[in-house]
């Protein structure tokens, strides 16, 4: 596995891959890798000739009071894991390499960027789309793999790719969970043992909604009320949002007569966790 620290190195390596007529797959991450990330790497390996992964804790997508400084950074372990997955290139730039002084350009998906997490984290999605656009322009992958775990992020990136005619195909892969249902996340490392137990309520509330939906409930308000009820019973958990939305517009729906996204975000202690499920027609 070749580690590229500079944009020039990564760009040259990727150009060579394409010149050889090979299909290049790309997985963007912020490191602290877990099985969720590795599932994207494996999906990329299974359909691409060459795979590049980036590790970059993107300062632009963190708010002033968020966890940028304490975000887990485990580079040695991460590069070992990627090496075992036979990843070809690891792009690991510094913040100064990605954002030299004077950088002033943002990529923003209007409208979508202030829905769901965008409402409670202003500036977050413009930070994500700016860095992902830059990464796509540096790596120029044929396919890029993202997780359903960050459902709104995937929707917004698809929109950006479509609107800017970026020549990359977006593939969204299923959520990887712990055995008890908790969605894997780099932020789970912040949880105390007690919080780790409480965190199960996110998935439990989604399952409750799923069960009621299976039994025929189609009112979004009733489904949300049932989920909120469970969430409110768990001490130490503070709900940020629980919404049922159209997966492509992220706008709330009232009646579930087409596929919908049920998305939840909650603080468990000081740690903000997200999860979601898709309900069929």
Helix (H), strand (E) at residue 141: none
- Total residues interacting with ligand PAJ, rule: CB under 6 A: 24
Residues belonging to the active site: 37
Q: Which is nearer to ligand PAJ, 61 or 79 (CB)?
A: 61
Task: Spell out the residues 6+ positions from residue 169 whose beta carbon is closer than 8 angstroms to its own.
Answer: 142, 143, 144
Looking up tokens 């990359």 gives 168
CA dihedral 38, 2, 143, 72 (to 10 degrees): 40
Query: With binding defined as CB under 6 A, does residue 139 bind ligand PAJ?
Result: no
Q: What is the DSSP letter of 90?
A: E
CA 274 to chain centre: 10
CA 130 to chain centre: 14
- SS3 call for 105: coil
Nearest distance from residue 50's CB to ligand PAJ, in Å? 19
Query: With binding defined as CB under 6 A, does residue 132 bind ligand PAJ?
Result: yes
State the binding string over 92-121 for ligand PAJ (x if CB under 6 A, else -).
------------------------------
Candidates 45-53, 141-149, 226-234, 239-247: pick the segment binding ligand PAJ (CB under 6 A): 141-149
Strands 50-55 and 237-245 come out as unpaired
Binding test (CB under 6 A) with ligand PAJ, winner from 45, 121, 149, 159: 149
Query: With binding defined as CB under 6 A, does residue 82 bind ligand PAJ?
Result: no
Query: With binding defined as CB under 6 A, does residue 166 bind ligand PAJ?
Result: no
Query: With binding defined as CB under 6 A, does residue 79 bind ligand PAJ?
Result: no
Binding test (CB under 6 A) with ligand PAJ, winner from 10, 24, 39, 237: 39
Query: With binding defined as CB under 6 A, does residue 130 bind ligand PAJ?
Result: no
Burial tier of 221 (Cβ tally within 10 Å: 0-12, 13-18, 19+): exposed
Contact 37, 29 (CB under 8 A): yes
Query: With binding defined as CB under 6 A, does residue 147 bind ligand PAJ?
Result: yes
Query: With binding defined as CB under 6 A, does residue 150 bind ligand PAJ?
Result: yes
Q: Give me the residue whose beta carbon is nearest to ligand PAJ.
A: 147
Q: Which is nearer to ligand PAJ, 40 or 250 (CB)?
A: 40
- Residue 266 CA to residue 139 CA, distance in Å, equals 34
- SS3 call for 45: helix
Query: With binding defined as CB under 6 A, does residue 30 bind ligand PAJ?
Result: yes
Binding test (CB under 6 A) with ligand PAJ, winner from 185, 260, 271, 276: 185
CA 110 to chain centre: 19
Contact 19, 63 (CB under 8 A): no
Query: With binding defined as CB under 6 A, does residue 28 bind ligand PAJ?
Result: yes
> What residue ranges bind ligand PAJ (CB under 6 A)?
28-30, 36-37, 39-40, 58, 61, 128, 131-132, 146-147, 149-150, 153, 173, 175-176, 183-186
């Amino acid at each position: 596995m070749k580690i590229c620290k500079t944009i020039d190195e990564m760009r040259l390596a990727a150009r060579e891959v394409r010149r050889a007529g090979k299909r290049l797959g790309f997985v963007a991450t912020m490191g602290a890798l877990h099985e969720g990330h590795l599932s994207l790497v494996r999906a990329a390996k299974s359909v691409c000739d060459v795979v590049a992964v980036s590790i970059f804790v993107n300062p632009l997508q963190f708010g002033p009071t968020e966890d940028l400084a304490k975000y887990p950074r485990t580079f040695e372990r991460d590069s070992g894991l990627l090496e075992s997955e036979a990843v070809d290139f690891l792009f690991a730039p510094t913040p100064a390499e990605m954002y030299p002084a004077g950088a002033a350009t943002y990529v923003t998906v209007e409208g979508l960027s202030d829905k769901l997490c965008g409402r409670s984290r202003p500036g977050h999605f413009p930070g994500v789309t700016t860095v992902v656009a830059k990464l796509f322009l540096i790596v120029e992958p044929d396919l890029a793999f993202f997780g359903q775990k960050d459902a709104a992020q995937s929707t917004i990136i698809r929109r950006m790719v479509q609107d800017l005619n970026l020549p990359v195909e977006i593939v969204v892969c299923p959520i990887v969970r712990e055995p008890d249902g908790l969605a894997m996340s780099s932020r789970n490392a912040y949880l105390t043992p007690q919080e780790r137990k409480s965190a199960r309520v996110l998935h439990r509330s989604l399952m409750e909604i799923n069960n009621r939906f299976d039994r025929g409930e189609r009112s979004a308000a009733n489904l949300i009320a049932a989920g909120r009820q469970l969430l409110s019973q768990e001490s130490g958990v503070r709900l940020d949002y629980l919404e049922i939305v159209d997966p492509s517009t992220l706008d709330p729906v009232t009646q579930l007569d087409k596929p919908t996204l049920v998305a939840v975000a909650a603080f468990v202690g000081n740690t903000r966790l997200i999860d979601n499920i898709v309900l069929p027609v």
